[in-house]
């Protein structure tokens, strides 16, 4: 596993696993983590396990024209969360922040778990398998809060994808909050306080 980490406190209260987008790498989320500069936080910046054909890495690998697999990515997150718990953190102090494809993984991972996390923050993402999403959802995962963030001018992943995700997730019983911003396919630094409040509960 390739993963970078840093903490903004000697005694952090929360852990954020930040997952890059398609063709990203272990360095992609570092500027976001640094700019957010959340107090009392440990950041883990893992690199996706599948190498793409062009450059960088992917959280999903295409098995057929319509089937995608993320087994290694799920295993990676399981390993990270197990280590985090071993360091003394409770699951309610663990958050997943994903951008684009990383946002898809955050949602996919959450629904499969027999436990609740502190929350997930999918940014500029979408639900990959909408047709089958509601199958095999863990009831205990429904206690994981969801903060969806999307740019109104996103031409890579259209903002309607977050509206669809909000509808599906809310329909399943998740507590979902959707924030749109006047931007494109990027992380909105002006929503720092929204992210901070979501994590701290303020």
Q: Does residue 144 surpass a pLDDT of 90?
A: yes
Res 159: pLDDT? 87
Q: Could you give all domains of the chain from N- to C-terminal order, each with its CATH number?
A: 3-200 (3.40.50.1820)
Asked whether 111 and 137 are in contact (CB, 8 A), the reply is yes
Res 202: pLDDT? 63
| Rounded Cα–Cα distance for residues 128 and 5 (Å) | 28
Q: pTM here?
A: 0.94
pLDDT digits (tens, 9 = 90+) for 29-40: 999 998 888 999
Res 200: pLDDT? 84
pLDDT digits (tens, 9 = 90+) for 64-82: 777 788 999 999 999 999 9
Mean of the per-residue pLDDT values for the chain? 93
Q: What is the DSSP string of the chain?
A: --EEEEESSSS-SEEEEEE--TTB-TTTTHHHHHHH--TTEEEEEEPPSEEPSSSSEES-EESSSS-EE-HHHHHHHHHHHHHHHHTT--GGGEEEEEETHHHHHHHHHHHH-SS--SEEEEES---S-TTTTTTT--GGGGGS-EEEEEETT-SSS-THHHHHHHHHHHHHT--EEEEEES-SSS--GGGHHHHHHHHH--
pLDDT digits (tens, 9 = 90+) for 28-68: 999 999 888 899 999 999 999 999 988 999 999 988 777 78
Res 148: pLDDT? 97
Confidence category of residue 167, pLDDT binned at 50, 70, 90:
very high
């Amino acid at each position: 596993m390739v993963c970078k980490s840093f903490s903004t406190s000697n005694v952090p209260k929360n852990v954020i696993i930040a997952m890059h987008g398609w063709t990203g790498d272990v360095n992609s989320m570092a500027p976001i983590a640094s700019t957010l500069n959340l107090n009392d936080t440990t950041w883990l910046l893992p690199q996706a396990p599948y190498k793409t054909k062009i450059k960088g890495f992917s959280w999903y690998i295409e098995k057929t024209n319509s089937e995608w697999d993320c087994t290694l990515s799920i295993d990676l997150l399981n390993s990270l969360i197990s280590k985090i718990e071993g360091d003394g953190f409770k699951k309610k102090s663990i958050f997943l922040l994903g951008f684009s494809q990383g946002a898809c993984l955050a949602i996919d991972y959450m629904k499969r778990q027999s436990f609740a996390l502190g929350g997930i923050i999918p940014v500029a993402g979408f639900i990959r398998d909408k047709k089958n999403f509601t199958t095999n959802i863990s009831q205990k995962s429904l206690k994981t809060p969801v903060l969806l963030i999307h740019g109104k001018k996103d031409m890579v992943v259209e903002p309607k994808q977050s509206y669809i995700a909000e509808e599906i997730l809310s329909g399943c019983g998740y507590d979902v909050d959707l924030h749109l911003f006047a931007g494109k396919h990027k992380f909105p630094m002006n929503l720092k306080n929204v992210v901070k409040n979501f994590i701290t509960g303020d």
